[in-house]
Each structure stands twice: as structure tokens, then as C-alpha cells.
Amino acid sequence: MFNILAILSVFTLVVFQSSWIFQVAAVSETQYLHDTESLQPQLSNDFHNTGFGNTRTRKRGNISSSVGLGDFNDLMYTVPIRLGNRMFAVHLDTGSSDLWVISDRCTENACKESNISRFPDASFVPAGVDVEMHYGDSTTGTYASGSVGLTTASVAGITIAQQTFALIDDTTNHVVEFNAAGILGLSFPSASKIQEEMTATVGTGPLVQTDHFVESTDISGPLLSRMAMSGALELPMFSVEFQRVAIDISGNGSLTIGKLPDGIENSSLTWVPVRLYPTEDGGLAPPSSAPDEVYPFRWEVDIDGVFLDGKRFTDSAIPADDDVDSQRVSALIDTGNSLLRGPEDVVKNILSSVSTTYDPDAPDPVAALPCNIPHSLAFQIGGKMFPIDPRDFISQLDSMAVVCQADNLVATDPPSVGSLFRWSLGTPFFRSNLVAFYYGNLTHPSMDPPRIGFLSVVPKNADQLLQDAIQKAMLNGGNFPNSVEPAPTASASQRAHITVSAGVEYISSPTSTQEQLSQSATDLVSTSFLSTPTASTNGKAASAGVSIALTHGYLLLFCLQSVGLLSL
């Protein structure tokens, strides 16, 4: 149980200027996907409050920031995060919702093989709730279990207090064996096991309605969801682009919060609606005040078709489980997945098309193919083709860079309740595409629906770049590059940070990012500078410098009254 402590009401004068934000008309999830122009978020002065049962209009803040990513052999991407006064590198995962790190008590299973820095159990502030989270499919499933606690969390220089996270004392998840202390889940609150457990401790009896769950998102919800709900971000969104450190080193990986990356125009992306999950399909039940609401559950979108070298493959004939829709084809857009996963029959057809020696019935089938023959596997989304760079379709099989294998494509489970997708597009897709994730209104999605924007970054000369990479490998003893790029935790620990508060009005400040803001009693907005931000420790990683926009303008008197502080 939480006790709510009232603190002194505070009146503060703040200078601010109206900032432009996303404001879109409600769109149907089934809107014609080729009509991407109407799905582009539009600019407006106003922001509809995401508070439960409240549709007040308020001004949105102007905070945005970006941070470089670590890359472990193109299999797993990590982001620096501060929990309390400690820095960690955590796996970036749009396929799950929860934040967790391993404790110094985690010594078995995957932790036995991990040398990563851990969160000390002695510094943990428990919330009195245990949690167990599950990942993967029926053949690759893993778990992480531990206790829920509260701490101040910072990512990309943006800080929020009283963030729930799990301190894990047992896990079979292999990310902790590969330079990650845990996972940062970026999906929706409805899929958060931590928020589910925290909400279940409040009140009595079963949660017949989801009123309290929805209302509690800005308090016990996932990290980026809380930042989006604070109103402090320039836009309730984040975007991801991945670098490449295998086959052919290239690109700059980054996580950008609150806006699109610099230099990227909104109109250049293909925007499509996120698939919503009705209650019967495993989704969140609507709250009593909005019985017609249908909530998103995953970052999942419909796809129009799958193509290899321009040829479209027939959709899967494998029926869905649990009587869910077998005809609709959607894809989970998942940074936490190191592969491209799809229906078993379609995957076998694709691999048989590129490899003359592929035997799907072999105990360990290998789809061997010549390295120098490029293939283009593409997914049609919103009427537009999004190909996988041919450098990301293969990996090295022999020691002379002559024979490769198409091992980035594997089969996964058919759709079922809670997992309606047939495809899961993982890290190879993110090396070929910039992807923007727009939360919209998290408590009333019908007012501002979630969507995903896609921008292909595959160069026109990708086939030639593959040939060039093969030639470089020949000069390197027949070996393609395969390296590890650490997350820029050192520079992230030294950068400026700005604190936002969830569940209250946000007013932007006129202070330059080069000046230190005096901390107000409301703690609505505060910045501190540990030292001058430094460049990423790796030259290819995106700059870890602050990119926080704060505007100038008019005076406003506001009152923050009886702010609740969580206490145990």
C-alpha cells in the first residue's frame, strides 16, 4: 500500500513560450494504410491532458534529447541509464515494457556467466512487490524474477523520480552475459508486469475494471511512458536507429526521445497505426469512464506483404491459436529481437529460394548461399517497401568470405491471445530503417492514437557495398568484421540532465541549456551539470551531448497543490 503525503502548495512564476506539439485527429486503426499523409502527426499549440477521466487542454513542454548506443556484434543494442547514482548499460527493448537490472545476489543461471556491474542490494528501496517477467517465444523463452523498487532514473539526460524497476535475483535471459545489466522496456503500460503487480496491491478484491491501472500509469508505469505523460517532452515519442559492426561497419546508432532525430522531416516517414488489442485478444479492459476505449498492447503494425527480390510470398497457411484472426498479418517491431522471425511455412519458402542446399527437415538446417549474391527481403508497410539491407540478411559461414548463411531469418509461433503478430522484425530491420514510435494519448488512445513511422535508410548502392565488404574481408584473411561497441556510459554519466515530474502540469523554462537552473520547490523542472558533456567514447556512436530545447516567452502563475509522494 502507498501512503500519500501532502506537501506544501507552491506558487511559482515561470516564463514560457507556447511550443508546437503533435495534435492529431483520431484515426481508426483500420484506416487505409496507403493514406499515410493523414496519419502524419500534425502540429498544434495544444496538448490534451493524458490524465485519467480528464480532457483538459494544456501546453506541452519542449524537452528532447538523444544518446548513442552500444552494439554487441549486431545482436544486441544497449543504452546508458542512470539508476540512483549508478550508471548501467541496459538492453534496448521495444518488445517489452519493464525496466530491470540484476542485483549482486544474482549468481545462478545467466548471472553465473555475467561479469557486468550490478545494482547493490543494500541500496535497493523495495516496494513490497515481487515480479516475474517472460521473454521470447515457445522455443527461446526466458524469464527474469525479482523485487520491485523505486529510484530516480535517467536516460538520454532526462530524469524522472520515483521510477519503478525490478531488481533481479534470478534470470535465464542471456542479455546479462553480453555487456547488459538488464533491460529497458519501451512498450506500452498495458504490457507492464511491474505496473500490473503494483496496481494489484492497491484496493481490495480483483480488478474488475482497469480504472486504477490506467490512472496509475504516470506513477508506476514504464519509464518512457511516464516521461511522455508528464507533458514535458516536446513530443510523446522516441525514435531508434541502429549502427552496424558486423559484415560492414557503418552507421550511427541512437535513441532519440521527444522528437525525430535532427535533420529528419516528419513527412519523410511512412506513418501507420499501431494494432490495438481488444479484451478478447488479451488487451486491457476499458475503464468505466471510457467503455469504448481499446488499448495498444505492443508496438505492432499491419503489413501488406513479404517480398524476396521483388517476388511476393503467399501469406502463411498456418492457423492462429486461441481462435484469433488468422487472416490479418501484423508484425511486432522489436529491438529486443536479434533476428527476423516469421511463420514457419513462409520462412522455409524464403530460405529454400536463396539456398539450394537448405533442408528444412535436417536437425540443424543451414541455409548456405554465396556471399556475393545479394538478396533483398522486403516488408510492405503502409503501401511502401522497406527492404532489409543485403549486408544484414547474411552472416559468415566459411573462413574465406565465400559461403555465407541466411541465419537472420527464423520461424516463430503462430498468433495467439496476447501475441497477435505473425512476424517479429528485430535488429536487422532497425539497421535498415529509422523507426519512430509515437505513444499518443496513453490513457485515452482514441483521442490521439499511437502509431509508428518508418524511413528506409538502405542506400541505393547497397548491393555494391556488399561486394566492397567482401573484398575487404578477402584482404583481412577472409574474415568479415565482427566487433563490440560499448554503450557510452562514461560520457552519459558526465552529461547535463534535466528532471521532469509525472502527473503534474509542465511549464517550459526560458533558461538556456548552457546555464544551470535553480531548483524550484515544485521540482517540476531542474537541471544540473556534472561537467561539460563529452563526446561518445566511440567515434561511431551518436553524440551523447545534450539536445534539450527550452523556449522563451510569457509569464504564468501556477499552483502545485498537495503533490503526492510515494512512501512505504
DSSP string, 66-130: EEE-EEETTTEEEEEEEETTEEEEEEEETT---EEEEBTT--SGGGGG--S--B-GGG--EEEEE
Helices and strands in the chain, H and E counts: 9, 39
Rounded to 10 degrees, what is the CA torsion of 57, 63, 68, 74? 0
Helix H segments across 203-307? Answer: 211-215, 217-220, 223-229
Which residues are CB-neighbours of 382 under 8 A, at least 6 positions away? 33, 34, 36, 39, 270, 271, 272, 304, 454
CA–centroid distance for 528 within its chain: 26
AA letter at 417: V
318 by Cβ neighbours in 10 Å (0-12 / 13-18 / 19+) ranks as middle
Q: Residue 263: which residues within 8 A CB-CB, separation 6 or more? A: none
- For residue 71, which of 396, 392, 376 has the smallest C-alpha distance? 392
**Residue 407 appears among annotated catalytic residues:** no
CA 192 to CA 220: how far, in whole Å? Answer: 10
Q: What are phi and psi of 185, to 5 degrees?
A: -80, 135
The Cα 466–Cα 457 span in angstroms is: 15
**Which residue in the list 71, 74, 93, 169 is annotated as catalytic?**
93
Q: Beta strand pairing status for 409-411 and 423-425?
A: unpaired
Beta strands in 119-274 (DSSP E): 126-135, 142-155, 158-171, 182-185, 237-241, 254-257, 270-273
Helix (H, G, I), strand (E, B) or coil at 494: helix
Distance CA 28, CA 564 (A): 36
In this structure, the dihedral spanned by the alpha carbons of residues 6, 566, 2 and 211, taken in order and rounded to 10 degrees, is 90
Would you call 280 helix, strand, or coil by DSSP?
helix
Q: Which residue has the cell 548499460?
A: 89
d(CA 112, CA 332): 31
Is 93 annotated in the active site? yes
DSSP helix/strand/coil, 471: helix
Catalytic residue among 218, 334, 392, 413: 334
Catalytic residue numbers, as ranges: 93, 334
